[in-house]
A = this chain, B = another copy of it.
């Protein structure tokens, strides 16, 4: 569901048959997506002071069946305690290990307007190990200001920032009319993941992944089940 998937091809891997996944095996698209969702809920639950959580509670927040959650997790180890549930803290650690996303990952934000400022000053990315290392804007008056402690820079600095700070993700909070040009520069600089908050349909080479935010799509979907 709503899921925005990454690629329509899941290349069949050699040792990718059945049974528990070995190290180096690639997760299926579905499993990776669901693990990411569990992580989101777990991190918020931890913030709220929860120590343990059951598969049933995870199911309520993620809208994923509780049997599937236990099944997904048990494929990687026995993380839970019968009669108790899962320890929030250790499950966060385990899932991060599985997803190879335990470290810090640097992102560059484009656009210092309302949306850009909202993103820069929120915890949504920071909570998941993403650090905004630079904000870019075309407006010379915006350059030099700080949002969430990060200074706004001119677009001409893009290539240097990507190289020096090892930026792996570009987040586009620019008008639709400017999005393709920024995407082109990101591709040029070697960034492989673009998160697009604009409505623009972006053209990128096949090795680059674009995720377009689409709140209205999610609403349409919810609305269907409300109306039907």
Say whether A141 faces chain B, with CB atoms less than 8 Å apart. no
Contacts of A100 in B (CB 8 A): 224, 227-228
Residues of B within 8 A of A225 (CB): 6-7, 26, 32, 209
Cα of A30 to Cα of B201 in the assembled complex, Å: 23
Compute how far the CA of A58 lies from the CA of B88 in the bound complex, rounded to whole angstroms.
Answer: 39
Inter-chain contacts of A123 with B (CB < 8 A): 199
In the complex, what distance in Å separates the CA atom of A171 from the CA atom of B99? 31
The CA of A118 and the CA of B117, in the complex, are separated in Å by: 10
Separation of A192 and B45 alpha carbons in the complex (Å): 24
Q: Quick check: B227 and A37 within 8 Å, CB to CB?
A: no
Smallest Cβ-Cβ distance to A29: which chain B residue: B1
The answer to whether B33 and A2 have CB atoms under 8 Å apart is yes
Residue A200 CB within 8 A of the other chain: yes
Of A64, A124, A169, A228, chain B has the most CB atoms within 10 Å of the CB of A124
| Bound Cα distance A107, B26 (Å) | 41
As for how many copies of this chain the complex holds, the number is 2
User: Is residue A146 contacting chain B, with contact meaning CB distance below 8 A?
Assistant: no
With A63-B4, A124-B199, A225-B32 already in contact, the answer to whether A216 and B115 are too (CB < 8 A) is no
**Assembled-state Cα–Cα distance A220/B213 (Å):** 14
Docked Cα-Cα span, A19 to B69, in Å, equals 31
**Are B29 and A169 closer than 8 Å at their CB atoms?**
no
Chain A 102-145 interface mask (CB, 8 Å, partner B; 1/0)? 00010100000111011001111101101000000000000000
Interface residues of A in 212-228 (CB under 8 A from B): 212-228
Q: How far is the CA of A1 from the CA of B226 in the complex (A)?
A: 21
Chain B residues near A59: list those with CB within 8 A.
8
Interface centre among A101, A201, A211 (most CB of B within 10 A): A201
Residues of chain B with a CB closer than 8 A to A27's CB: 224, 228
Minimum CB–CB distance from A97 to chain B (whole Å) comes to: 12
Q: Is the CB of A5 within 8 A of B44?
A: no
CB closest residue in chain B, given A2: B3
Confirm or deny: A61 has a beta carbon within 8 angstroms of a beta carbon on chain B.
Answer: yes
| A193 and B213 contact, CB distance less than 8 A | no
Complexed CA–CA distance, A169 and B3 (Å): 21
